[in-house]
Structures are given as structure tokens and as C-alpha cells.
Amino acid sequence: MNKKIGNRTVQLKNEPRIISAFSIVGPREGEGPLKQYFDEILKDELYETESYEKAEAKILTNTIQEAIKRANLKNKDIDYLLAGDLLNQIISSSFAARQLEIPFLGLYGACSTMTESLSLGSILIDSDIGEYVVCATASHFCSAERQFRFPLEYGSQRSQTCQWTVTGSGAMVLGKGGNFPKITYVTTGVVKDYGIKDANNMGAAMAPAAVDTLYNHFKDTGRKPEYYDVIVTGDLGSIGKEITQKLLLEYGYDIRNNYMDCGDMIFNNQAQGTDAGGSGCGCSASVAAGYFYKKLMRKEIKSILLISTGALMSTTSSLQGESIPGIAHAVSIEM
């Protein structure tokens, strides 16, 4: 039976369940508006390690392990681990996987990795290829700054369009059955590039991909924006969020009444000095596994459309004057 509907969406007949979730964030995120929803808040950025990169790997490892424990499972029960991050050769995920001894598929979707992993994990469960799948990702402000911009010691100035890479991680365990939030649709994104070259304005670079995925999700499923209690993008921040709302209106979809953005939610930008908001793999991952999963389990909301967005750039491509391609994947989660 063909489960694909429309051009880009898969309807999951077996409706995989998110049977547990866990989130860890850094100190700055722990001072933000969502602090009571995160499962663990770090006391410092190094997390009792020798480097920020090692701290990021430890954050991801612990998030995955705690999500598995919360599901009353052991590592040997997990059929697949799907994870990725922002660092070169996704070392945070690979170094986490070497400790867990779970069959590992490394992913790179930049900041879209959380919904990319949820999409592929859901398809594995729906196809009876796996019984339990862990979907996870992480990012770290200090390691990302060192790789993509300048080391913190340099003290470079930041523009008002900049976003603050979230130090954090989120993991979700997918399984079958039970009174848990279920994933009903997956809409896969295509790469969109509108010629933005400013690496300090990621929101503008990623917004067209979010708009395209949202439009195709609504067109493929026949759903209207008001079907969802919340439509939430991953990490467009305040600038990308505004662009997305305006561009979708041109397609005839008004999402302003129920639209949120994880990057716009996780910090109090004015009070915390986080410019245009949060970004990074850990942004949508920690907010989805922390804030939104708890809201669903408490039945305070019944349905969300989660769209994580990613900028598919590298330090080399930016230095060579390349524009910044964007990608966005959507998963429909219903309680």
C-alpha cells in the first residue's frame, strides 16, 4: 500500500508513538522563559569535561541514555539510533554512539536534524523495521562559535540579526502503541536557496525552506493551519519567523494565530542579549523534547506541526562567497 500522499508527504498508518523524551540545556537556556520545562540544566558550559566539543558529546550521550531509561528500556532494546549535530564529521553524535553500542545512523541536516531523525525513525517504525528507535541531536554555543565564526576569546561583535546557538540536546524514543503522542504525517523538505550570503542572518536564509515545506504539507494533507493547536518552526528566530508569516500569506495560508518558533521562545532576547533568538540543532530538539512534549502529555495541547529548519553551509563555502541553502522537514504530532 502506497503511504505517500501528494508530492512530499508520507501518511504513517501505524502511527509511531513518542514514548519518552529528555532534554538538557546550558546555563543561559536555563535562565530563559522555558526553564521549568527542561529536564536538566547545566551549571557551566564545560559540563565537567576538558573542552566544549567534549561537553557537547557528553550532553548528547546523557540525553539519549536518560530518554531510554525514562522509557523503561535498555540500550540493547533499541534497534536504531538516529542522530547528528553541527560539528565537522558529526563528532558529537559519533562519539556518543561509540559509548552506547546501538546500531547508529549518523545524519546531517544542520539545524533540521531533529525532524529529519524523527521522520526517518517514524518510517522505520511504521515499516516494521524496528521496534524502538531513538531520535536525537545536540549543539553547543561555544563549539559552534569556534567552528563557524570566531573563538570566544576573540571577542568579535555580533549583529542584531545574529542568532545564539543553543547549548542543549533533545532525544525522543519512538515505539508502538500506548497513550503517547503519535506521529501521523512526515513532510520532507527540498533545498531552497534565495541567494542570502550573510552568515549572520540565518533566519532569512532558512525561512524560504520553512515556507515551502509548510505549503506542501498543507497542500498534500488538505489540512488548514487552524487544524493544529501549534505550528512551530525550529530556529528561525524573530526575523525568520516574521519572514515566514509574510511569505505564507502570499500562498493563502495565515498561520499568525497559532504559529511559534523555538528560537524565538527559548530566550528572552532583550534581557539576555541573544540578538534575534536561538538557533542550532539543540534549539528545536530541546524545546520539542522539553516544552512541547510535556504540553502534549499533559493534554494542554493536542496537536503540533513541528518544522525544524537548517542552513546547509560550511565555513569553507561561506569564505568562498557561496549563498546559504536551507532545508526544512515537518512532522505532525498528535495526542
For the segment 251-260, what is each residue's pLDDT rounded down to a tens digit? 999 999 999 9
Q: Is the pLDDT of residue 152 over 60?
A: no
- Domain end call among 175, 190, 205: 175
| pTM (two decimals) | 0.94
Domain end marker among 118, 152, 175: 175
Q: How far is CA 221 from the centre of its chain?
A: 22
Residue 245 and residue 113 share a domain = no
Is there a single domain that holds both residue 121 and residue 22? yes
Reported as a pLDDT band with limits 50, 70 and 90, residue 158 is low
Distances (CA, A) of 114 to 5, 164, 242, 252, 330: 22, 18, 22, 28, 10
What is the residue range of 138's domain?
A: 4-175
Residue 10 φ/ψ, nearest 5 degrees = -115, 130
Same domain, 220 and 169: no
Q: How many domains does the chain have?
A: 2
What CATH number is attached to the domain comprising 218?
A: 3.40.47.40
Work out whether the CA dihedral 308, 283, 325, 160 comes out positive or negative.
positive
Confidence of residue 232 (pLDDT cuts 50, 70, 90): very high
Domain identity same for 188 and 144: no
Same domain, 163 and 192: no
Is the domain of 130 the same as that of 52? yes
- Asked whether residue 275 falls in the same domain as residue 154, the answer is no
Q: How confident is the model at residue 268 (pLDDT cuts 50, 70, 90)?
A: confident
Q: Are residues 89 and 208 in the same domain?
A: no
Asked if 113 and 85 count as a contact pair (C-beta separation under 8 A), the reply is yes
Q: Which of 155, 175, 195 is at the close of a domain?
A: 175
102 touches 131 (CB < 8 A): no
Q: Which helix (H) or strand (E) holds 84?
A: strand 80-84
Closest of 20, 123, 30, 25 to residue 80, by C-alpha: 123
Radius of gyration of the chain from Cα atoms? 18
pLDDT in tens, 7-30: 999 999 999 999 999 999 999 999
d(CA 181, CA 228): 14
Residue 299 has pLDDT above 80, yes or no: yes
Q: Which three cell numbers stand for residue 228?
A: 493544529
| Same-domain pairing of 199 and 232 | yes
| 146 and 242 inside one domain | no
Q: Are 171 and 190 part of one and the same domain?
A: no
Q: Is 164 in the same domain as 60?
A: yes
Nearest to 180 by CA among 22, 295, 335, 11: 335
